[in-house]
Amino acid sequence: MATLPTLDFQDYVAGGDRRASFLKTLGETAREVGFFYLTGHGVPLEVSDGLVSLARKFFALPQAEKEAIDIANSPHFRGYTRIGNEHTRGRRDWRQQIDFGVDRPAIPQDGQQPLWTRLQGPNQWPAALPELEPAVRDWQARLEAVSVQLLEAFALALELPADAFSAIYREQPNHRLKVIHYPGRDIAEDEQGVGAHKDGGFLTLLLQDRQAGLQVETDAGWVTAAPIRGSFVVNIGELLELATNGYLRATTHRVVAPPAGVDRISIAFFFAARLDTEIPLVSLPAHLAALARGPASDPLNPMFRDTGLNQLKQRLRSHPDVAQRHYADILHQFGL
């Protein structure tokens, strides 16, 4: 495989034979590759370009301005992360970023609530770049709508009702947005931008700028997902793998740091389940269920069907600074 498949979402929107062809290709691609380019998604180029431009403005701010919204300030894992302060499989990632989530009030804690309730809370917004907040909120709304449509398409591709997954995201959808900057570095030192991993949600929609870096693991080796203007790179997360008993597979991927003198912006939208739900095992048609191989959980980092607990575990592992400041009382429960 030289490149990832490309699907045009307008084929799905059109209905009829075009929709049927789209669903067939979606089902095959999801099972065999787990990654694809999505065009025709309806998000205007000027909106995408505008958010990338604002991202560059933020990362060009003085360090003190960025660290005014340091993620370590937030028990909800929202805010700015310095280069090297997020970890993948125990190793530092060569990127700086801002994390945003669904902006809801923090849940008062008296020790009786489920642990995951500590994840809910407000975002941090940079005072030095006030125009970023409305742009991020607009992006979240647009990509949530695309993600819901895509999940409906996945359900149909699996020969299920279109709303087969809706109970685990409707009313209080849960998603996370990472606005990421990868500075150039000497590759001879270490090429890890982000270490090899699978995403933990339902779907990830990634916007890339002009610089390549994302690589996808396939049977033939690592394939570079070169940027295609106007597209999202979409991949399946581990929640879909769990829900389909491994009929659909989340795919391992990584990001290679840009070479010295070059940088990279990417904007990753992770659409997940509500924090208060357990991931069900959907009833696939018999001929599909027979092909399910069971979820391929990492024994060193097992997946839970309890969505909130699973997300809390992932956040604690990837952000040890936040974990030590806000969760030192429970780290032993996660082997940390």
Q: Which amino acid is at 310?
A: N
3-state secondary structure of 17: helix
d(CA 234, CA 216): 11
Under the banding of pLDDT at 50, 70 and 90, the label for residue 329 is very high
Q: What pLDDT, on a 0 to 100 scale, did the predictor assign at position 279?
A: 85
d(CA 68, CA 323): 19
User: Would the pTM count as exceeding 0.85?
Assistant: yes
Under the banding of pLDDT at 50, 70 and 90, the label for residue 298 is low
- DSSP E strands, 112-168: none
- Share of residues in the chain with pLDDT > 90 (%): 68
- Share of residues in the chain with pLDDT > 70 (%): 95
Q: Residue 270: is it exposed, middle or buried by C-beta count within 10 angstroms (0-12/13-18/19+)?
A: buried
Which residue's entry shows tokens 């429970």? 330
Under the banding of pLDDT at 50, 70 and 90, the label for residue 85 is confident
Q: What is the pLDDT of residues 245-279, one digit of tens each?
A: 989 988 999 999 888 889 999 999 999 888 888 88
- In sequence order, the 6+-apart residues with CB closer than 8 A to the CB of 55 are 179, 181, 265, 267
- In sequence order, the 6+-apart residues with CB closer than 8 A to the CB of 46 are none
* Tokens standing for residue 171: 């009313």
Determine which of 106-120, 178-192, 222-236 has the lowest per-residue pLDDT on average: 178-192
pLDDT above 70: residue 188: no
Under the banding of pLDDT at 50, 70 and 90, the label for residue 101 is very high
- In sequence order, the 6+-apart residues with CB closer than 8 A to the CB of 143 are 43, 175, 177, 205, 269, 271
pLDDT above 60: residue 288: yes
d(CA 142, CA 145): 5
CATH number of 6-334: 2.60.120.330
Q: What pLDDT, on a 0 to 100 scale, did the predictor assign at position 278?
A: 86
Residue 54: HSE in the Cβ half-sphere, 13 Å Cα cutoff:
21
User: What average pLDDT score do residues 155-180 get?
Assistant: 91
Nearest residue to 207 via CA among 9, 13, 41, 25: 41
Phi, psi of 299 (to 5 degrees): -60, -25
> What separation in angstroms does the CA of 232 have from each of 12, 21, 160, 278, 334?
16, 20, 25, 28, 34
d(CA 89, CA 76): 21
Q: What pLDDT, on a 0 to 100 scale, did the predictor assign at position 157?
A: 97
- In sequence order, the 6+-apart residues with CB closer than 8 A to the CB of 266 are 180, 182, 206, 207, 208, 209, 213, 214, 255
Query: What residue ranges do the domains of the chain occupy?
Result: 6-334
